[in-house]
Amino acid sequence: MPLVAISVAQRLWPGEDDNTIILTPEEQSKWDEIYLHPKDTFWWFIDYWWIIDDSPKQDLTIGKVKIPNWSKNEVPEGNSPWLVLSGLQWGSLFGGGSTELWFGDGKHCKFVRLKETFNF
Q: What is the pLDDT of residue 106?
A: 83
Give me the domain span that covers residue 13.
3-119
Q: What is the pLDDT of residue 73?
A: 77
Report the side by side order of strands in the sheet with 109-119: 46-53, 80-90, 94-104, 109-119
Q: What angle do CA 84, 89, 95 make, to 5 degrees?
A: 80
Residue 68 CB contacts under 8 Å (≥ 6 apart), including other chains: 115, 116
d(Cα 3, Cα 49) in Å, to the nearest integer? 13
Question: How many domains does the structure of the chain reveal?
Answer: 1
- Is a pLDDT exceeding 60 seen at residue 1? no
- Is a pLDDT exceeding 60 seen at residue 56? yes
Q: Please, which pLDDT band fits residue 7 given cuts at 50, 70 and 90?
A: low
Average pLDDT, the chain: 77
More confident residue, 108 or 20: 108
Backbone φ and ψ for 28, nearest 5 degrees, come out as -60, -40
Q: Is 79 helix (H, G, I), strand (E, B) or coil?
A: coil
Among 8-17, 34-43, 67-76, 98-107, which is the least confidently predicted range? Answer: 8-17
Q: What is the pLDDT of residue 59?
A: 63
Q: What is the pLDDT of residue 11?
A: 65
